[in-house]
């Protein structure tokens, strides 16, 4: 129910809803007033295919408290809406565009394919480097403490060791590929771990993050940021010397 109720689209000109902020406000108002039909008209085509109007009306009627909570949360967005578009090239590369000031502009991904100016850009660069097996580039996203072996988070490196099962104490268990040389991490050690016993596990995590990235919201506070993904997972970011790096995947 939550997925359907939260699946607002960007269809303009529905009862005065012309942009993302107006659409969100109109949807929240319709839910708060119990006007299921008006709210339904603001859903995206994909959302409408997943739930019929009758089913949507029933959800609104039978779950008034949940609907009211959703309406209240949508009425207080934590940031200005950003309209994005993704263009996929024949090679499979994706370019992000942002709609701002009445026109479409090229996102930073069109300048630096492995940028670190924002948490989102860093994560996109991380995924791109992983796809290309550029372990030298992946090292750019390693926080200084983990590069030197002073912490035991994501780049330990990630994954469950052979014969291991899932997570330990709520965190990801670590392999021992970086244990040599005082624990210092290198591109060669990361490649050995992520293409060996860790390959299937890290690939599944990367896929979950990729699936969530398009719609996930990244919460940023000073030099820290976090993005939820999958079933309760979280990507943790840290900013060092002005560059965003990936601290952990919990």
- Would you place residue 143 in the very low, low, confident or very high pLDDT band (cuts 50, 70, 90)? very high
How confident is the prediction for the chain on average, in pLDDT? 77
Of the two residues 194 and 179, the one the predictor is more confident about is 194
- Residues 169 and 93 both lie in one domain: no
pLDDT of residue 129: 93
145: number of CA atoms within 13 Å, CB side?
A: 12
pLDDT of residue 109: 59
State the Cα–Cα distance between residues 200 and 132, nearest whole angstrom.
16
- Residues 67 and 9 both lie in one domain: yes
**In terms of residue numbers, what domain contains 162?**
113-249
State the Cα–Cα distance between residues 210 and 123, nearest whole angstrom.
9
Q: Looking at 74, 102, 127, which one is the last position of a domain? A: 74
Q: Is 64 left (phi over 0), alpha (psi -120 to 50) or beta?
A: alpha
The answer to whether 236 and 226 have CB atoms below 8 angstroms apart is yes
- Residues 106 and 169 both lie in one domain: no
Evaluate if residue 176 carries a pLDDT over 50: no
For the chain, the 3-state helix, strand and coil shares in percent, each to the nearest 5, are 40, 20, 40
What percentage of the chain has pLDDT greater than the value 70?
Answer: 72
Of the two residues 201 and 154, the one the predictor is more confident about is 201
pLDDT digits (tens, 9 = 90+) for 33-70: 989 999 999 988 888 888 899 999 998 888 888 888 88
- Residues 103 and 145 both lie in one domain: no
Which span out of 76-80, 98-102, 172-176, 235-239 was modeled with the highest average pLDDT?
Answer: 235-239
């Amino acid at each position: 129910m939550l997925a359907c109720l939260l699946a607002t689209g960007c269809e303009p000109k529905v009862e005065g809803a012309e942009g993302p902020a107006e659409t969100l406000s109109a949807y929240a108002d319709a839910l708060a007033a119990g006007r299921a039909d008006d709210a339904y008209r603001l859903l995206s085509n994909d959302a409408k295919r997943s739930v019929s109007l009758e089913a949507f009306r029933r959800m609104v009627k039978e779950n008034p408290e949940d609907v009211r909570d959703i309406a209240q949360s949508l009425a207080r967005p934590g940031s200005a809406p950003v309209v994005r578009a993704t263009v996929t090239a024949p090679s499979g590369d994706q370019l992000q565009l942002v709609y701002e000031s009445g026109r479409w502009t090229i996102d930073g991904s069109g300048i630096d394919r492995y940028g670190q100016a924002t948490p989102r850009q860093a994560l996109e660069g991380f995924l791109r480097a992983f796809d290309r097996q550029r372990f030298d580039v992946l090292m750019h996203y390693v926080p200084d403490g983990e590069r030197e072996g002073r912490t035991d988070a994501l780049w330990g490196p990630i994954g469950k060791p052979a014969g291991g099962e899932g997570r330990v104490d709520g965190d990801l268990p670590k392999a021992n590929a970086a244990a040599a040389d005082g624990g210092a991490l290198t591109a060669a050690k990361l490649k050995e771990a992520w293409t060996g016993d860790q390959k299937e596990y890290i690939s599944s995590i990367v896929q979950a993050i990729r699936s969530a990235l398009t719609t996930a919201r990244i919460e940023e506070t000073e030099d820290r940021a976090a993005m939820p993904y999958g079933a309760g997972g979280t990507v943790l970011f840290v900013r060092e010397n002005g560059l965003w790096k990936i601290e952990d995947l919990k």
